[in-house]
Amino acid sequence: MPSVAEASPTDPWLDRWLPLVIERAGGGPILELGCGSGRDTGTLAGAGLRVVGLELNAAAVASARERVPSAQFHCQDIRAPFPLPDGTSGVVLASLCLHYFDWAETTALAERIRRQLRPGGVLLCRLNSTLDVHHGAIAGWSGEDPFYLVDGIPKRFFDRAAVDRLFAAGWRPISVEHHVVERYAQPKALWEAVLERLD
C-alpha cells in the first residue's frame, strides 16, 4: 500500500497544483468529495495538509483510513450536508465524483461547493469527458444529454461547453484542460478544471 507522501505513479495530477492548494488552504482543512480509498488524500496529507474526506463506499473509507490515518473521513453521500460550515474552506477537491447525477442535482452540488468555499477559495475538479470511450462514453453520442446508465450505474459525460455551463455563475476559471490519464487499466479521458469562487 502506498505511503501517504506518495502520489499515484500513473496519475500524479495533484503535484502541479500543490503550491496553489497550500496557499488557498491557509492552514485549514481541505474538503475532498468522493475520496475513494484515499489516493489523492495521501498526496495532500503528504504535503502536510489536513483533509476531511467524504466517500459513500464503506470499504473504500476503511482503506482510506488505513492509508491516511491523519485525515478525517465521513462515510456519506456527497449530496448530504457537508461536515464543515459554509464559507470556511479554502480548497475543495472533487475528482471524478460529480458525474452520477442528473443535471439539476449536478448544478445544485456545484452551487453547494461554491458556498462551502470562502471567497477566493478554489475547487479542483475532474469530470468524465465525452471522449472517455474506455469508461462508458458513447462515441458520436447524438442524444441531448450524455447522461445514461453504464453497467447499471448512471454516468454523465462532459464536453467543454458542459464544463463551462456548470461553472458559469460565481466562478472564475483558473485552468480548464482536457487530459488522458493512465489511472486505470484503460486510458481515462477527463476534464481537469481549477476554479476560484468569486464574491
Which CATH number does the domain housing residue 94 bear?
Answer: 3.40.50.150
Residue 29 sits at the vertex; the CA angle it makes with 25 and 35, to the nearest 5 degrees, is 105
Instruction: Please report the pLDDT score of residue 9 as a whole number.
Output: 55
Instruction: Please report the pLDDT score of residue 7 as a whole number.
Output: 40
Successive 10-residue mean pLDDT values, the chain, 199 residues: 41 93 96 96 96 97 97 97 96 97 96 96 97 92 90 95 96 97 90 96
97 located within any domain: yes
5 located within any domain: no
CB-based contacts of 152: which residues, under 8 Å, 6+ apart? Answer: none
Look at the chain and report how many structural domains it folds into.
1
Instruction: Please report the pLDDT score of residue 4 as a whole number.
Output: 34
45 located within any domain: yes
Closest CA to 73 of 90, 86, 61: 61
Instruction: Please report the pLDDT score of residue 130 as a whole number.
Output: 96
- State the Cα–Cα distance between residues 198 and 14, nearest whole angstrom: 23
8 located within any domain: no
Return the amino acid letter for 33.
L
90 located within any domain: yes
42 located within any domain: yes
Instruction: Please report the pLDDT score of residue 141 as a whole number.
Output: 86
6 located within any domain: no
- State the Cα–Cα distance between residues 178 and 193, nearest whole angstrom: 9
Closest CA to 193 of 184, 136, 172: 172
CA distances from 175 to 29, 122, 163, 164 (A): 23, 11, 12, 11
Instruction: Please report the pLDDT score of residue 182 as a whole number.
Output: 87
61 located within any domain: yes
Residue-range definition of the domain harbouring residue 38: 15-197
